[in-house]
Amino acid sequence: MTGAVRSATMRGITVVGVGADGLDGLTPAVRGRVLESEVVIGGERHLAMLPPIDRQIRVGWPTPLMPGLRGLLAAHADRGLVVLASGDPLLSGIGTALVRMLGADAVDVLPAVSSETLARARMGWSAEDTALVTLVGRDPRRVVAWLAPRRRLVVLSSDETTPARVADLLVAAGYGDSALSVLGDLGAAGESRVDTTAATWGDRAAPRLNVVCIECAAGPETPPYGSVPGLPDDAYDSDGLVTKRDVRASAVARLVPAPGHVLWDVGAGAGSIGIEWMRAAVGAKAVAIEPDPLRAQRCRDNAAWLGVPDLEVVVGTAPGALGDLKLRPDAVFVGGGASVPGVLEEAWAQLRSGGRFVAHAVTVESEDALLRMFREHGGEMVRLSVERLEPLGTLTGWKPARAVTQWSAIR
């Protein structure tokens, strides 16, 4: 943090949440704080709500926002600042960015009723029975990871195009019968509501400020894809190089997905480990390292289809590619290349203290490599054997899959 920005925080930064009813919805004390401020920062819509005030400086957001934000604050370091935001500034809002940048003690947040709260009130949905999905400035395909029969979702839209994109995604995922309520300009005099289904939304227009409420309804042939690891193998497009369902479930369970934690999936294949890691914990991040460009593209496509389009895919070969990764891992999975000299050692060296490491082997050479790691670092080694019932002539019998040796350890 620069000294100039620190000076700005000494005068105080107040972030005021404003509802669709504008300044009239603020308490007299908060309204006075806005009108008496030396500098007011906000979007065009918020600044237009203010009456003319002599000597009050009003500044719009820089473009792009985050690179210019620190400089904007520094430019007004000697003045008290009020920032205007929509609803709850800590709900996909500028308040979150300011607190991360300056610290919680430097920012005074005065929220209004959030659009999520208003949406649930209109729908009659309780907070504990509803999941919040924010698509503000994010890829709409993220909504797919939240779909489950009978689940209720409040989706914060990025703009007027979001409802149509969400509806199309629901239809493609087999949730076209889901009830869709698009609530526009919540809290304003011109508040609107359209109730329909995902399949019948079509090309309807929507207000720029809108929230999408979804009651998920799966089609009769729609497979259930939960957040628990072990999706069906056919959920992935692959050339056969995909960690199989039962073995994958074991690996992800030992990797222990957690919000905000980072996974390296080394030798990603179809990307299944990273994808299920991200689906299992909100905010979990993953980097898939895959040397083959075609497989790397499959990783991206699979991630988008399964609702985690933010999966980072790096085309590169371990161990060399590992040194260039920006995010240090809380967990590492090595599904291929364990026998390549230096792969296991470099990945282990990069792992954070307390991090989880899981590696698989199907050849004697890679088993030897895992055994060396086990002897040096401890942990657990297991052999996973799976048999599936299949037709055997006119009868049925068990067909064994290739056994997988698994080493797991905590650093």
In a domain, 228, yes or no: no
- Are 340 and 319 contacting, i.e. CB atoms less than 8 angstroms apart? yes
3-state secondary structure of 48: coil
Question: For residue 338, which of 304, 367, 296, 316 has the smallest C-alpha distance?
Answer: 367
In a domain, 80, yes or no: yes
In a domain, 222, yes or no: no
Q: Which two tokens stand for residue 354?
A: 């307390």
In a domain, 393, yes or no: yes
Same domain, 200 and 327: no
pLDDT greater than 90 at residue 251: yes
In a domain, 200, yes or no: yes
- Are 184 and 206 contacting, i.e. CB atoms less than 8 angstroms apart? yes
H or E element in which residue 298 lies: helix 293-305
Dmax (CA) for the chain in angstroms is: 91
Q: What is the pLDDT of residue 20?
A: 82
pTM (two decimals) = 0.87
Read off the amino acid at residue 108: D
Torsion, Cα of 33, 136, 199, 148 (10° steps): -100
- Give 206-250 pLDDT, tens digit per residue: 999 999 999 999 999 999 898 999 999 999 999 888 999 999 999
- Are 216 and 238 contacting, i.e. CB atoms less than 8 angstroms apart? no
Among 50, 78, 113, the domain-final residue is 113
Same domain, 293 and 209: no
**Domain with 144 in it: what CATH number?**
3.30.950.10
Q: Which two tokens stand for residue 200?
A: 């019948």
Same domain, 199 and 248: no
User: Could you give the CA distance from residue 19 to residue 54 in angstroms, rounded to a whole number?
Assistant: 25
Q: What is the pLDDT of residue 1?
A: 39
Same domain, 284 and 364: yes
In a domain, 226, yes or no: no
Residue with tokens 């083959």: 292
Greater model confidence, 154 or 240: 154
Question: For residue 357, which of 368, 341, 376, 340 has the smallest C-alpha distance?
Answer: 376
Same domain, 308 and 211: no
Same domain, 191 and 267: no
122 pLDDT tier (thresholds 50, 70, 90):
very high
351 pLDDT tier (thresholds 50, 70, 90):
very high
Q: What is the pLDDT of residue 246?
A: 95
**Domain housing 48:** 3-113
